[in-house]
């Protein structure tokens, strides 16, 4: 029987978890960078408070630039600044950057390989009562298809902080996707984090659950329930969607023989799509995708929405049962 890997130094989530929004990790990461990296400049589009760039504005006002509500302009201007040696962290909600400013990200930033970091806030349906206009569900595919882009979906606030700090050290475009709501803190300072490397948090070889963002926690909870039924699930935190850790995914597919992915996003083209591409080409096994089934969300509380749109541990368990039947 497998189990949680000691060397991952996870928080003891079974005893209860702290709920912290991942955006806080982004804010703390920015503060650290402002103190340690002269090149960093934080760009904001009239959303300082909710994206946490206000922490920078308060403490390092000279490092904060507000563009007003002009996301497309901000993205291209960040590209301009990056050519002068600065490292801009451009911050707004996912819908407004990955969506509205996609062409600027594609042609000016990725095609031109400009050193721009993008903080995509308010990812996922857990944005809640603001409704579908603000619930970003499509950034993973939108950013993943761009050559040269690095795309990270941190699982919790500490991981988001590590990813933010890492981004400054990387040369080239980076997109960080994080959420609004408090989510379980499952990692610690000692938890390994390397961009481009998926971490196996729980050993098991009946089925592999590959998740990103807050659904890694749901996957761990699902695995605990499955264990009681004698099903041994491997749980993988696949925080880096691009570049994908092909080895870890293929190994999981080969050793477990069945895969379920889980993400707080559309089921098309996201983490599930990325994993399917790997599995189909390298080691075809039964697979299912947990996510939003090709629809927009609605207003409601985060918990209600995650349940209604099928992104809790129960939904993961149901998909695991499906792939296990196919596996036989």
Ligand X SMILES: Cc1ncc(C[n+]2csc(CCOP(=O)(O)OP(=O)(O)O)c2C)c(N)n1
Binding letters toward ligand X, positions 229-258, x by CB under 6 A: ------------------------------
Partner that binds at residue 131, options ligand X, another protein, none, CB closer than 5 to 8 Å by kind? another protein
- Minimal distance, residue 46 CB to ligand X, in Å: 4
Q: Which of 5, 13, 46, 254 binds ligand X (CB under 6 A)?
A: 46
- Minimal distance, residue 154 CB to ligand X, in Å: 22
Q: How far is CA 94 from CA 91, 157, 246, 265, in A?
A: 9, 17, 26, 12
Separation between Cα atoms, residue 115 and residue 130, nearest integer Å: 32
Total site size for ligand X, rule CB under 6 A? 4
Partner that binds at residue 130, options ligand X, another protein, none, CB closer than 5 to 8 Å by kind? another protein
Residues linked to residue 120 through DSSP beta bridges, in sequence order: 92, 177
- Phi, psi (5° rounding) for residue 28? -65, -40
* Residues 53, 118 contacting (CB under 8 angstroms): no
* Residues 280, 273 contacting (CB under 8 angstroms): no
Q: Which of 299, 310, 318, 321 binds another protein (CB under 8 A)?
A: 299
- Residue 71 annotated as catalytic: yes
Q: Which of 30, 33, 47, 256 binds ligand X (CB under 6 A)?
A: 47
Q: Judging by beta carbons within 10 Å of its beta carbon (0-12, 13-18, 19+), is residue 163 exposed, middle or buried?
A: buried
With residues binned 3-state (H G I as helix, E B as strand, rest as coil), the percentages for the chain, rounded to 5, are 45, 20, 35
Separation between Cα atoms, residue 248 and residue 254, nearest integer Å: 10
Cross-sheet strand order for the sheet of 240-242 = 64-66, 40-44, 87-93, 117-121, 174-177, 150-152, 240-242
- Binders in 76-115 for ligand X, by CB under 6 A: 96
- Minimal distance, residue 250 CB to ligand X, in Å: 40
- Binders in 199-218 for another protein, by CB under 8 A: none
Cross-sheet strand order for the sheet of 259-266 = 3-4, 199-203, 233-237, 207-211, 259-266, 287-292
- Binders in 56-75 for ligand X, by CB under 6 A: 69
**96 Cα distance to chain centroid:** 17
Q: Which of 278, 305, 306, 317 binds another protein (CB under 8 A)?
A: 305
Residue 310 touching another protein (CB under 8 A): no
- Minimal distance, residue 96 CB to ligand X, in Å: 4
- Binders in 96-115 for another protein, by CB under 8 A: 96, 99-100
Write down the catalytic residue from 6, 71, 77, 298. Answer: 71
Separation between Cα atoms, residue 79 and residue 67, nearest integer Å: 14
Q: Which of 10, 25, 41, 44 binds another protein (CB under 8 A)?
A: 44
- Minimal distance, residue 317 CB to another protein, in Å: 23
Footprint on this chain of another protein (rule: CB under 8 A):
44, 46-50, 66-70, 72-73, 95-96, 99-100, 128-134, 298-301, 304-305, 308
Residues that bind ligand X (CB under 6 A): 46-47, 69, 96
């Amino acid at each position: 029987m497998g189990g949680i890997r000691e060397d991952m130094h996870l928080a003891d989530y079974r005893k209860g978890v702290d709920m912290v929004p991942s955006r806080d990790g982004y804010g703390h990461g920015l503060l650290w960078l402002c103190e340690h990296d002269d090149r960093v400049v934080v760009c904001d589009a009239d959303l300082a408070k909710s994206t946490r760039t206000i922490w920078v504005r308060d403490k390092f006002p000279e490092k904060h630039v507000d563009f007003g509500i002009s996301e497309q302009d901000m993205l291209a201007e960040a590209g301009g600044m990056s050519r002068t040696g600065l490292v801009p962290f451009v911050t707004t909600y996912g819908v407004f950057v990955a969506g509205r400013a996609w062409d600027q990200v594609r042609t000016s930033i990725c095609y031109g390989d400009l050193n721009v970091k993008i903080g995509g806030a308010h990812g996922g349906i857990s944005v809640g009562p603001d409704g579908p206009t603000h619930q970003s569900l499509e950034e993973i595919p939108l950013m993943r298809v761009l050559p040269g882009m690095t795309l990270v979906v941190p699982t919790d606030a500490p991981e988001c902080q590590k990813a933010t700090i890492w981004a400054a050290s990387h040369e080239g475009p980076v997109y960080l996707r994080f959420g609004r709501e408090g989510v379980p803190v499952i990692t610690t300072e000692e938890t390994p984090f390397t961009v481009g490397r998926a971490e196996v948090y729980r050993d098991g070889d009946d089925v592999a659950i590959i998740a990103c963002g807050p659904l890694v926690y749901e996957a761990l909870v699902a695995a605990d329930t499955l264990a009681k039924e004698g099903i041994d699930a491997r749980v993988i935190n696949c925080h880096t969607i691009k570049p994908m850790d092909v080895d870890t995914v293929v190994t999981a597919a080969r050793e477990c023989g069945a895969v379920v992915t889980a993400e707080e996003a559309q089921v098309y083209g996201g983490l599930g799509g990325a994993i399917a591409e790997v599995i189909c080409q390298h080691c075809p096994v039964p697979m299912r995708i947990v996510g939003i089934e090709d629809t927009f969300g609605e207003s409601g509380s985060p918990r209600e929405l995650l349940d209604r749109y099928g992104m809790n541990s129960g939904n993961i368990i149901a998909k695991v049962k499906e792939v296990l039947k196919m596996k036989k």
